[in-house]
Amino acid sequence: MNLIPTPAEATGSLRPQAPAYRWTAARLALGTASALGISRFAYGLLLPAMRTDLHWSLAQAGALTTANSVGYLLGAVLAGVAARRWGPTAIFRLGMMITALALAGTALSSVYLALLTARAAAGIGGALVFVAGGVIASRRAAAARSPAPITIYFSGAGLGIAVSGASLPSLMTHTPHAWPMAWIGLAALALLATVASWSAARVDEPELQSATGQRRLRRLWRTGVAYLLFAAGYIAYITFLSAALAHEHTPIWQISMLWTLLGTSAMAAPRLWSPLIAAWPPARVLTTLLALLAGASVLTLVSSSYAVLAVSVLTYGGTFMTVPAAVTATIRSTTRPEDWAPTLSAFTTVFAAGQTIGPWAAGTIADHSSTDATLVWTAALCASAALVAATQRPETLR
C-alpha cells in the first residue's frame, strides 16, 4: 500500500512504538463508542420499552433513527469544511460534547417532536466525531505504517454496544417506564468518554488545518454506491433486532447476551481485519465484509435458536463497523492527506443518506408484514452492496 510520508517520517523520526499508538487509538475509539455505540445503536435496546410506553408504530420508532440520520447527514456535510478550517481535534471534541448533551436531552420529554429533535442533534454530534476522528486515525495509521489505528478507532462502537447490551435489556424489562433514566445514564457514559478521549484527539501537524483539500470521488464511485446500500441496510438490523427478538418472545437474558456478543465481537474485529486490510485489495475486503453481513442477517431468518442467533450476531458484530474502516483505508490509500477530510466527509454524507432512508423504509414495510421484514431488508441491501463492491476495478485504487 502506497502511503504519503507524514512530516515525522520526512524528518526521519522513528516509527511510534506499537503499544503507544494502539493505546492512543483505543482512547480515540471512545469517540465511536459514544457517537455510535451509545448514541446511535443503544436506541435499538430502548426501542421496545419506548414503543410500548409511548404507543408507537414501527414506522414511528424507525423515524427516530431516521431523525438521527438526518442530523448525521447535516453533520457530515459540515464536518469536512469545519475540520479543514478549525482542525480535526476541535471538531472531534465539539462533536463529543454535542453527543453527550443530546443524549441528556432525549430524557427531558416524551413529546414526539422533542425526541426527534434530540435524536437529530445526537446525529450531528456523531457525524462530527466520525469524520474528525477518522481523519485523526488516518494520520496515526500513516505514522504507524499500519491500518490498525483505523480499525481500532471504528471498533470502539462495539464497546458502547457491549456496555449497553449488558445493562439496558434487564432494566427495560423490569421498569419499562424508566427509559428517560436510561438515557441519562447513557449521557453520563458519553461525558466520561469525552473526558477520556480529550487528549487522544490532539493533532500537532499544522497542515491538517488546510483549506486546499478537495473531494476525490470519481475513481471511487462504485465504492460510494456500495457504501450507500450498506448504510441503508445494516442500520435496520441494529435498530430492530431487539424488537424482532421480543416479538419471538426471546428470554431477556438471551437478548442481553446477544447484544453483548455483538459489541464484544466488534471490539475484537481489528485483530482479524487489520492484516487483511493491509494485504488485500480494498475492493476484496469490502466485498467480503458485505457478503458476511448479508449472510449474518439471513441466519436470523433461518432459525430462532440461540446458537444460530449467536453465530449471527458474532458475524455481524465482527464485520459491520469494519466496513467504514475499510472505506476510510481506501480513501487514505488513494488520496492526498489534504484531501482526506473532504473526501471522508463526502463518503460520510453518502453513509448518512443511506441511514436516513433505511430505518423508516424498513419499519414501514414491517408494519405491513412482520418484524422479520427488517432483517430481510438488511440481507438484501448488504448482498446488493457486495455485488457492487465486487465490480470496483483494482486499477482505480492505486
Structure confidence at residue 19 as a pLDDT band (50, 70, 90): low
240-278 tens-digit pLDDT: 777 777 777 788 788 888 888 989 998 888 888 888 888
Q: What is the pLDDT of residues 22-79, one digit of tens each?
A: 788 889 999 999 998 899 888 888 888 888 888 888 888 888 888 888 898 899 888 8
**Domains of the chain, with CATH numbers?**
19-198+216-397 (1.20.1250.20)
C-alpha cell at 337: 492527506
Contact 116, 7 (CB under 8 A): no
Is pLDDT of 1 > 60? no
Q: How far apart are CA 157 and CA 290, in angstroms?
A: 18
Half-sphere exposure of 26 (CA within 13 A, CB side): 9
CA distance 164 to 185: 10
State how far the alpha carbon of 272 is from the alpha carbons of 133, 141, 172, 298, in Å.
21, 17, 34, 22
Which helix H or strand E contains 273, and what residues bound it?
helix 252-279
pTM: 0.76
